[in-house]
Amino acid sequence: MSVLVIDVGTSGLRAAIVNDDSTLGVVCYEEFAPSTPAPGMVEFDATAMKQAVLRVARTAMASVSQISAIGITNQRASTIAWRRSTGEPLGPAIGWQDLRTIFDCIMAKTNHSIALQPNQTATKAAWMLNNYVSDEAERASEDICIGTVDSWVVSVLTQGAVHATDVSNAAVTGLSHSDGQTWNTNVMSILGLHAHQFATIVPSSGFIGHATALDGAPPIMSMVGDQQASLVGQGCISPGKTKITFGTGGMLDVFIGSQPPARAQRSTGGTFPIVAYSTSTEIFYGAEAIMLSAGTNIEWLRDDMQLVSSAAQTDEVAATCATTEGVVYVPALLGLGTPHWDYGARGTLLGITRGTTRAHIVRAVLEGVAHRGVDLVDAAQVDTGLEITELRVDGGMSRNATFVQALADASGRTVRVSLVTEATTMGAGFLAGVAAGVWKSLEEPCGATQPASIVVPLGNPGVSRQQWGEAISRARSWIPDLSALDF
């Protein structure tokens, strides 16, 4: 029995087959990068996404004789508005990185004491309704659907029959209560939004609808946000189990258990409570810490500084020197996320001498991202009270041996590297497969996962954590007006 997973990321989307032995089969991938029509704006064409999803899904399905279930995982908080009657978008979809509603977030906090982030769905949805629908009465129309990427994909697959989202996606929109199970109509009312236009919230694992747009109309059996899917895909389903995805940014998620968070807002240590996933009978929670730029720093070395010709070459170049000889790099190209949340911090290179070489700088960048990873771990431990003894990693940077060793050394923890670079696909597949009876419980496929490698700390962290703290302090508040922003 096979599970088809549709995995829609920020820069590309894929359809993949997850086999019943917990391995990954055929993967069909298409690039699907958003556009930036103006600084701070990030958009994408939802119709083009629809067409790409159907293409890759049909291609992947052709590789197996039968599909038992479909799982969906997605970039979170990106927002789409469309007509229920026609299935046509009202206008360009808005990506999660879009910053056009920063002022709206500030006003929500100033005027209504509501904490909303510019990368959440809430203010994006309000902006779309106000700018794509000219008639005020029409803005309340039941023909209008507003949803995140998972909702759009489900609507596409069911040919408009189902408008749904799961608790893990709903909980990070800024529009639900902290458990993700119900919409917060008070926040919606303040923003001029209407609950009847939003998706029905369903469990992450369970029957959602039939994919009538595909041959055989297989059942859709899971929906889950990408970071939560990665958590499951790496087997982190017991308290304290932690994964970090090092992609364009860095996202740490730690599994907590069935105890719901006391509040939905950012915690003292700079992490956010999340819904990890849910079944028809139980909801599981976690905490999330965010690094605003991880792989972006590698792109900077390659594309702008031209110190390497490819991302993979950073490993080779960094390995030519044993240490950075005191050079420290703070990866704050877009500011600092957890635990500082300083949007005015900027990338900083310290300790340069006449003897500093290309290799020292490349190694310093890798070590800097590793130290930021440890910042996320420290914050998660503070906020959850759980001891994190081991790290599981995926994402593009997880294939860089020098970086992974630096992470092990800086954290003093063993690092397990995911066998599959994008563990999101596996997590969505596991949740769908359990719901469809491919596996008896989630522990079965999660327990069968094997790492690509296990890296232990060698006791040489390079830069000490004390030195790292000093470097961070020098990178902060470089643009005071941005540093003053607090959402």
146 pLDDT more than 80? yes
Residue 152, classed as helix, strand or coil, is helix
379 closest CA partner among 259, 463, 253, 235: 253
pLDDT in tens, 300-343: 999 999 999 999 999 999 999 999 999 999 999 989 999 999 99
299 closest CA partner among 260, 333, 276, 330: 333
What's the token pair of residue 178? 């902290």
pLDDT in tens, 222-261: 999 999 999 999 999 999 999 999 998 999 999 999 988 8
Radius of gyration of the chain measured on its C-alpha atoms: 22
Phi-psi domain of 176 (left: phi exceeds 0; alpha: psi -120 through 50; beta: other): beta
Q: What is the mean pLDDT of residues 45-68?
A: 97
CA distances from 18 to 63, 204, 433 (A): 12, 17, 9
pLDDT in tens, 252-277: 999 999 988 877 778 889 999 999 99
Separation CA 398–CA 376 (nearest Å): 16
Separation CA 134–CA 49 (nearest Å): 25
Q: What is the mean pLDDT of residues 87-91?
A: 98
- Quick check: 138 and 129 in contact, CB under 8 A? no
Separation CA 366–CA 308 (nearest Å): 13
- Quick check: 333 and 300 in contact, CB under 8 A? yes
395 closest CA partner among 190, 241, 231, 282: 231
User: In order of start, what are the domains of the chain with their CATH numbers?
Assistant: 2-226 (3.30.420.40)
pLDDT value of residue 287: 96
pLDDT value of residue 219: 98
Strand partners, 275: 285
pLDDT value of residue 460: 80
Separation CA 369–CA 376 (nearest Å): 11
Phi-psi domain of 163 (left: phi exceeds 0; alpha: psi -120 through 50; beta: other): beta
What's the token pair of residue 357? 């070489």
Average pLDDT, the chain: 95
Identity at 274, one-letter amino acid code: I
Separation CA 31–CA 11 (nearest Å): 6
Residue 154, classed as helix, strand or coil, is helix
pLDDT value of residue 392: 98
Q: How buried is 71 (Cβ within 10 angstroms: 0-12 exposed, 13-18 middle, 19+ buried)?
A: buried
pLDDT class of 4 with cuts at 50, 70, 90: very high
What's the token pair of residue 259? 């105890």
Per cent of the chain over pLDDT 70 is 100
414-418 vs 451-455, strand pairing mode: antiparallel
Strand partners, 29: 14
Question: b or e along 258-272 (b: 16 or more beta carbons within 10 Å of the residue's beta carbon)?
Answer: eebbeebebbebbbb
pLDDT value of residue 263: 73
1 pLDDT more than 90? no
Output the CA angle 230-231-236, nearest 5 degrees. Answer: 140
Global pTM reads 0.94
pLDDT value of residue 350: 98
Strand partners, 330: 348
Strand partners, 272: 288
54 pLDDT more than 90? yes
Identity at 401, one-letter amino acid code: A
pLDDT value of residue 178: 81
pLDDT value of residue 419: 95
pLDDT in tens, 184-194: 999 999 999 99
**Which one-letter DSSP state was computed for residue 39?**
T
For 105-150, the three-class secondary structure string (H helix, E strand, C coil) is: HHHHHHHHCCCCCCCCCHHHHHHHHHHHCCCCHHHHCCCEEEEEHH
